Amino acid sequence: MLCVWHVCYIYQAATTHKLKLEEFVERATYKIISLHPLQQNRKRRMAFWRSTTLESDKHDLNTYANATTTTTTTTTDKDATTTHAELTKIPLMRAFIETHDPSSMHEVDDLMMRRFLRARDSDVDKACAMLLKCLKWRRSFVPNGFFSVAEVPNEISQDKVFAQGHDNRGRPIAVIFGARHFQNKQGGLDEFKRFVVYAFDKLCASMPAGQEKFVGIAELKGWGYSNSDVRGYITALSILQDYYPERLGKLFILHAPYIFMKVWKVIYPFIDNNTRKKIVFVENKKLKSTLLEDIEESQLPEIYGGQLPLVPIQDS
């Protein structure tokens, strides 16, 4: 049977029995690895994937890809405008935060509250709960307010995240090379979490006045099974959605190999609807033209036909 079927079964069981996220990821990752003949040579591995691919599964993968592919006009300038409804709800959020966590008010402004409000579809109670959780997490996980390069040396050494240029709306652009990511055996998951926060904070700091979002380009050329890190992917996704809501403007996924879609089906249930709308799987033959719809050639990385050299995230 396909490993995807096993994962879906595990996900259903996790929902039924209320398994913790860590336990679900551990079981799902184990199942994927256990079904893959890593000790066989490359030709036999490819034969394995071909022999276990049914037409129905191909249809399912296309459905997932199409469901997460949006046109480049999804995000509009209205994101920068506070609606009348939001103007009435932000003071309510401020009063709630002042009551429950008054020491954090110097860290919170109207734009931050608006992001959390939008992340919870304008539900004030849910937005307040989400913001309070974030403030508590930030004090605990990032006690100094930021992470330095010295705290993420093993992740930096993989040379996998770059940040340079801005799109047509002034959003900073990050390029992530999936084939350069490997599970961090020295620093472990904790260092990876620190690196994710480090990268997000660097991108947020590079945003011009009036801009709150960044754009990501996930380059998956050369991505293979050794790069698969389900736990790491879901961890990064959780940090983005829970603690940096409405910071992602758009994510372009380039050169996604078929094998990646197996892992994508595991990750997909953890992506909230707001984030799904921002993900674009780009066709290889339309790569440059698609990127140019959002990014001027002068701001596009050289590797995609633009004019900007890649800048490591630590040097951006």
Same domain? 156 vs 137: no
Same domain? 297 vs 172: yes
Same domain? 133 vs 166: no
Residue 315 belongs to a domain: no
> pLDDT tens digit string along 154-193?
999 999 999 999 999 999 999 999 999 999 999 999 999 9
Same domain? 16 vs 107: no
Q: Which two tokens stand for residue 206?
A: 């590079």
Same domain? 197 vs 108: no
Residue 60 belongs to a domain: no
**From CA 183, how far away is CA 181, in angstroms rounded?**
7
Same domain? 180 vs 84: no
Query: What CATH number corresponds to the domain at position 100?
Result: 1.10.8
Range of the domain at 116: 79-141
Structure pTM? 0.79
Same domain? 166 vs 280: yes
Same domain? 16 vs 110: no
Residue 252 or 48, more confident? 252
Same domain? 295 vs 184: yes
Residue 241 belongs to a domain: yes
Residue 161 belongs to a domain: yes
> pLDDT tens digit string along 73-104?
344 456 778 899 999 999 999 999 999 999 88
Percent of the chain with pLDDT over 70: 75
Q: Confidence band (pLDDT; 50, 70, 90) for 28? A: low
Same domain? 86 vs 43: no
Residue 253 belongs to a domain: yes
Same domain? 22 vs 122: no
Residue 10 belongs to a domain: yes
Residue 172 belongs to a domain: yes
> pLDDT tens digit string along 106-162?
899 999 999 999 999 999 999 999 999 999 999 999 999 999 999 999 999 999 999
Domain count of the fold of the chain: 3
Checking DSSP bridges between strand 161-166 and strand 279-281, what pairing results, if any? unpaired
**From CA 58, how far away is CA 258, in angstroms rounded?**
9
Nearest to 296 by CA among 169, 202, 174, 176: 169
Residue 69 belongs to a domain: no
Last residue of a domain, one of 88, 108, 141: 141
Same domain? 98 vs 216: no
The runs of H, that is alpha helices, within 20-67 are 21-34, 42-51, 55-67
